[in-house]
Amino acid sequence: YLDQLLPDIDALDAALDALTAELQAMAPLALLPMKQHLNAIAAGRLDALRLQADIETARASADLIEGQAAWAARRSAQFKGC
């Protein structure tokens, strides 16, 4: 979806770089399944059991503990994908 208009290619490149950095800083255990499930929803093929399994995996992850600790300490999280 379109969420911003940029004046030129340089502004587009800068916005893409910023978005890429933001996504790379997110927890991969949560981000990748979220994208997969959103795509499945858009295609009308959501697998509720797989969704629940991915939620449980994320809840039991070291990344969740790291994210909570980083939030409490007001620092950037260092996610490892586990």
> Which residues form the domain of 64?
9-73
Residue 1 has pLDDT above 90, yes or no: no
Mean of all residue pLDDT scores within the chain: 94
Let me know if residue 3 belongs to a domain.
Answer: no
**What pLDDT was estimated at residue 2?**
80
Let me know if residue 1 belongs to a domain.
Answer: no
Let me know if residue 17 belongs to a domain.
Answer: yes
Rounded Cα distance between 43 and 56, Å, is: 23
What share of the chain in percent tops pLDDT 70?
A: 99
Residues 20-35: what's their mean pLDDT? 91
Rounded Cα distance between 5 and 16, Å, is: 12
**What pLDDT was estimated at residue 82?**
86
The angle subtended at Cα 30 by Cα 47 and Cα 12, nearest 5°, is 110
Let me know if residue 50 belongs to a domain.
Answer: yes
